[in-house]
Structure 1
Amino acid sequence: MAGRPKIFDENVVVEKATSVFLDKCYDATSADELLAAMGIGKGSFYLAFQGGKQELYQRSLQQFSDRFSGKLETAIANAPNGIDVIKSYFYAIAEGNKATKYRGCYLGNALVQLSEKDNSTREIAARLLGRLQEIFTAAVRKAQAAGQLKTTADPELIGLHLCNFWNGIHVTKRMGKSPKALRALVDLNLQILS
């Protein structure tokens, strides 16, 4: 006998939960807050997410990463010079508004917050951040082959540097640094992309 049919779109409710996790982080988010944001009851929640809050969080990380990575890959693929896209993304972080100031990098936050107590979530976050590194590496490799970069440094090392900086600038932004200071930091860190 089939259970009750779902009357909600799982992708939509995961996106709503992501907003709560971004604002409050995993540990500080209660089940009641998630249910209220998602607009579903407990029964529907546990039917869709049998692993509870942890499963929802992991699905949230995956969905967030898929959307972000997809947009970044598409933007790089459609640009005459993918390195310009990468630079623009970093400058956008520096210029970000106050609403995003304390959110930081969702995947980086997950990796740091849960690394000691939740191996499966840590592994998911690390894999998803690794995907970001691969995107950076591929863009660098392509730009080097096209003569758009002077540097002959290893593309994998540059990709790792950019991924590390991606996490780092989000943390530095939380220190209350001004957009001017953050732009200068971006300038310095992106000298490797010349």
Structure 2
Amino acid sequence: MAGRPKIFNEQEAIQKATEVFRNKGYDTASADELLNAMGIGKGSFYLAFKGGKQELYVRSIKQFAEGFNQKIGHAIEKSDNQIEFIRQFFLMLSDADNCDIERGCYLGNALVQLSEKDEDIKKITAELLKGLQKIFAKAIRNAQQNGQLKTLEDAEILAWHLTNLWNGIHVTRRMENSSKILRSMIEMNLGLLE
């Protein structure tokens, strides 16, 4: 017996669950809230997400990261000045009143939470950060080749610096929400991109 066919779109269901996780966090998002948001029953949920809430969360992060990285990568490639785009991307983080999708706050916060869960999940979060690092590295290499960047520092290391900055800002924002302080920190770190 093959069982009942799946009658929901997993990507859409994961996207709806992402909103619950984004607003409540992994630990405080209840199963009922997730199921209601996704519009599915328990049977369908456990058929699609055999690892339960944790599998849903990991898939939510992966789906969000893929979309976020694709959007950022595309926007950087279309930009006339990729380094200025990166600068503005980071400076927007300091001015945000709250966490929103455009700045990747969900991803940054989730990576912090996920990396504490177990070794397998820690490996997944590392891969997600590598995706962002690759986007930055490509933009830096392009800028070095076309003269928009004078620095001769290794593009890979500079990209890791930016990835660390992006990740660190999301951690710091949990404790310090002064736009002025965040902007000063970001500008100081972006001084390497000259």
* TM-score strictly above 0.5: yes
133-142 vs 81-90, which moves further:
81-90
Residue in 1 that maps onto 2:128: 128
123-132 vs 30-39, which moves further:
30-39
In structure 2, what residue type is equivalent to 1:185? M
Q: What is the CA–CA distance in structure 1 between the aligned matches of 2:99 and 2:109, rounded to whole Å?
A: 16
Q: What is the CA–CA distance in structure 1 between the aligned matches of 2:63 and 2:121, rounded to whole Å?
A: 14
Residue in 2 that maps onto 1:161: 161
Instruction: Indicate conservation of the 8 Å contact 1:108/1:129, yes or no.
Output: no
Secondary structure in 2 aligned to 1:69? Answer: helix
- The change in CA–CA distance for 1:114 and 1:65 in structure 2 (over 3 A counts) is closer
- The change in CA–CA distance for 1:107 and 1:57 in structure 2 (over 3 A counts) is same
Residue in 2 that maps onto 1:26: 26
- The change in CA–CA distance for 1:183 and 1:134 in structure 2 (over 3 A counts) is same
Secondary structure in 1 aligned to 2:80? Answer: coil
Q: What is the CA–CA distance in structure 2 between the aligned matches of 1:85 and 1:156, rounded to whole Å?
A: 18
1-10 vs 80-89, which moves further:
1-10
**How many pairs does the alignment contain?**
192
In structure 1, what residue type is equivalent to 2:27? D
Q: What is the CA–CA distance in structure 2 between the aligned matches of 1:60 and 1:114, rounded to whole Å?
A: 12
Is 1:52 the equivalent of 2:37?
Answer: no
- Structure 1 residue runs without a partner (length 5+): none
- The change in CA–CA distance for 1:173 and 1:162 in structure 2 (over 3 A counts) is same
Instruction: Indicate conservation of the 8 Å contact 1:140/1:159, yes or no.
Output: yes
Q: Post-superposition, which runs of at least 4 consecutive aligned residues in structure 1 deviate over 6 A? A: none
Report % sequence identity. Answer: 57
Q: What is the CA–CA distance in structure 2 between the aligned matches of 1:56 and 1:179, rounded to whole Å?
A: 33
TM-score (norm 1): 0.89
In structure 1, what residue type is equivalent to 2:189? N
Q: What is the CA–CA distance in structure 1 between the aligned matches of 2:111 and 2:93, rounded to whole Å?
A: 19
In structure 2, what residue type is equivalent to 1:172? T
- Structure 2 residue runs without a partner (length 5+): none
Is 1:17 the equivalent of 2:17?
Answer: yes
